[in-house]
Amino acid sequence: MGIKHKITANFVKVFGKPRITKLIEKQRSTSEIDGALHPTSNSPIRFEIPFEMLNLIQTRDDIEMRHMFPVRRLLSIMKNIHLSVDSLSENPANAATQTSPEFLEKLKEFALSQGVNPLEFVKLPPDLIFQKMGVLFDNAVILAMEMSKEKIDKAASQETMNMVFGTYDDLGKAANSIAEFLREHGYAAQADHPLGGLVLFPPLAQKAGIGWIGKHGLLITPEFGPRVRLAAVYTSIENLPFVDSNDHEWIEQYCKNCGICIKQCPSQAILEGTVTHDTGMVTNIKQQECFEYFAQYYGCSICVKVCPFSKAGDIYELLKVVVEAKS
């Protein structure tokens, strides 16, 4: 067993488990708030990565983690998940429910200043709320933040892992800042952190027209391909310009003809067909195979690296032309 594995395993066992347990319990407490929206019988169960990683460490002698967790970023992430719940007490008692186009422009400008791009407004279906979680409003502001192409191109590596956690941290801070911005203007808000969210973000973002989910299970956006992390802020504003349409459906046909992520996946965890998991989620991913490699090799990200859409620039439009020419 290598020194990195020993240090990381000890961190997960001693430091991680009690803190993560407390954090999950706090997140679940939002379901007990009066008026909270609850999941349905069709809602998925959240895959708790820290506990699954601890289980691997304790039960598998063949698991060898090559990476070190970026502890400073992890502490900040946990702090901001706590804040997303604790700050709910700051919501105004008689929160406004209507807004103006002028304010929404200010909101978008503020979000952009926090590194968020793109941003859309969408109604949250209860089927996307994870089991045992609760959300205060179904008026959702879905947020995306780019991950560095330079660092993704180095996957799987410690540099890539550090960048991914940094993006999670920065987007989590942005979600809390946007929730605070809304409260300052008389609206109630609930931030939902990108790491350990209350809802399943990719289909919500797809519903909002931000992109389309690829074979690798990640949202592919025109701006950055799958090099994004997602978060949300739920708000009392009822007259948001909700989106429920998508111009990116052609990506599904491209993915059927491409298959690079399937070929390049080091654990052969990406499938041509779909699989239904114990959590209720239906994906093209063999979750256990993916997770075991993810847990050992820097959180992997190879499928993001090899996806043609990750090149960004004009690649989205070029690939669209190819698909439409074959239709």
Q: What pLDDT is attached to residue 63?
A: 85
In a domain, 224, yes or no: yes
Higher local confidence (pLDDT), 321 or 245: 321
In a domain, 36, yes or no: yes
Tell me the C-alpha distance between 112 and 319, whole Å: 27
In a domain, 288, yes or no: no
Q: What pLDDT is attached to residue 180?
A: 98
pLDDT at 190 over 70: yes
In a domain, 114, yes or no: yes
Tell me the C-alpha distance between 289 and 56, whole Å: 12
> What's the chain's average pLDDT?
93
Question: Apex CA 205: angle with CA 313 and CA 248, to 5°?
Answer: 50
Instruction: Give the DSSP per-residue string, 41-64.
Output: TTPPPP--HHHHHHHHHHH-TT--
Residue 226 sits in which domain range? Answer: 3-235
pLDDT at 69 over 90: no
Q: What pLDDT is attached to residue 280?
A: 76
Position 269: which residue type?
Answer: A
In a domain, 279, yes or no: no
pLDDT at 71 over 90: no
Cis peptide before 156 (omega within 30 of 0): yes
What is the average per-residue pLDDT within 235-260?
A: 94
Identify the CA nearest to 200 among candidates 145, 140, 130, 146: 130
Q: What pLDDT is attached to residue 189?
A: 98
CATH number for 222: 3.40.109
Identify the CA nearest to 235 among candidates 182, 297, 181: 182
What is the average per-residue pLDDT within 237-257?
A: 93
Q: How far is CA 289 from CA 52, 293, 294, in A?
A: 13, 7, 9
Tell me the C-alpha distance between 150 and 85, whole Å: 34
What is the average per-residue pLDDT within 88-115?
A: 98
Q: Tens digits of per-residue pLDDT, 256-307?
A: 999 999 999 999 999 988 888 777 777 889 989 999 999 999 999 999 999 9
Query: Torsions phi, psi of 48, nearest 5?
Result: -85, 95
Confidence of residue 100 (pLDDT cuts 50, 70, 90): very high
Q: How far is CA 209 from CA 16, 171, 184, 213, 288, in A?
A: 36, 20, 28, 11, 30
Which residues are CB-neighbours of 179 under 8 A, at least 6 positions away? Answer: 84, 87, 189, 190, 191, 233
Structure-block tokens of residue 275: 């699989």
Domain count, the chain: 1
Query: Torsions phi, psi of 300, nearest 5?
Result: 55, -100
Percent of the chain with pLDDT over 70: 95
Higher local confidence (pLDDT), 75 or 61: 75
Q: What pLDDT is attached to residue 165?
A: 97
Tell me the C-alpha distance between 226 and 211, whole Å: 9
In a domain, 252, yes or no: no
In a domain, 281, yes or no: no
pLDDT at 309 over 90: yes
Q: Tens digits of per-residue pLDDT, 4-59?
A: 667 666 666 665 678 888 999 999 999 999 999 999 999 999 999 888 887 887 78
Q: What pLDDT is attached to residue 52?
A: 86
Instruction: Give the DSSP per-residue string, 228-260.
Output: EEEEEEEES----------S-THHHHHHHHH-H
In a domain, 57, yes or no: yes
Q: Tens digits of per-residue pLDDT, 192-233?
A: 999 999 999 999 999 999 999 999 999 999 999 999 999 999
Q: What pLDDT is attached to residue 1?
A: 56
What is the average per-residue pLDDT within 186-192?
A: 98
